[in-house]
Amino acid sequence: MIHFQLVALTGTKFDGDAYEITLPTLEGEIGVLQDHMPLVSVATNGVIAVRREAKDSDANRDFFAISGGVIEISDNTLRVLVDEADHADDINEAEAEAAMERAQQLKAEAKDEVSLEHAQQLVDRHAVRLQVASLKRRHQK
């Protein structure tokens, strides 16, 4: 087992032991298991999937939508520090879709590079939240 801590600006989202954690990095998705080599990396916007026990099916994983952050692995501990992290159970798909539409509207109406960049960040964030909501719904069937 590896100890996994997911910490966002709003507080700790996960703090416990897990068998496997997959997470998004600049180099692509990585999987972390017990005895992983030490690593410090950048987390990108994406999905973290946590398999608590080796016998757990894909449907029984915990999913989190994250914004970028920092990953640190050492001594069978994985720490991920991010600005935002939302557990699949906390994402209302209808609200996320409405937020995505608002973000896309902001992007379409952006008058300068700063506004465009801000709108794109919102679009990216809500796209990940919708992806996590979709994973949750798909695995509940």
The boundaries of the domain holding residue 49 are 2-88
- Residue 122: per-residue pLDDT: 87
Q: Please give the model's pTM, rounded to 2 decimal places.
A: 0.86
Instruction: Classify residue 73 by burial, with Cβ atoms within 10 Å: 0-12, 13-18, 19+.
Output: buried
Residues 16, 84, single domain; the answer is: yes
CATH number of the CATH domain containing 127: 1.20.5
Residues 26, 47, single domain; the answer is: yes
**pLDDT, tens digit, 9 for 90 and up, residues 70-91:** 999 999 999 999 999 999 989 8
- Cα–Cα distance for residue pair 20/52, rounded to 1 Å: 7
Confirm if 48 and 63 have CB atoms less than 8 A apart.
yes
CATH number of the CATH domain containing 82: 2.60.15.10
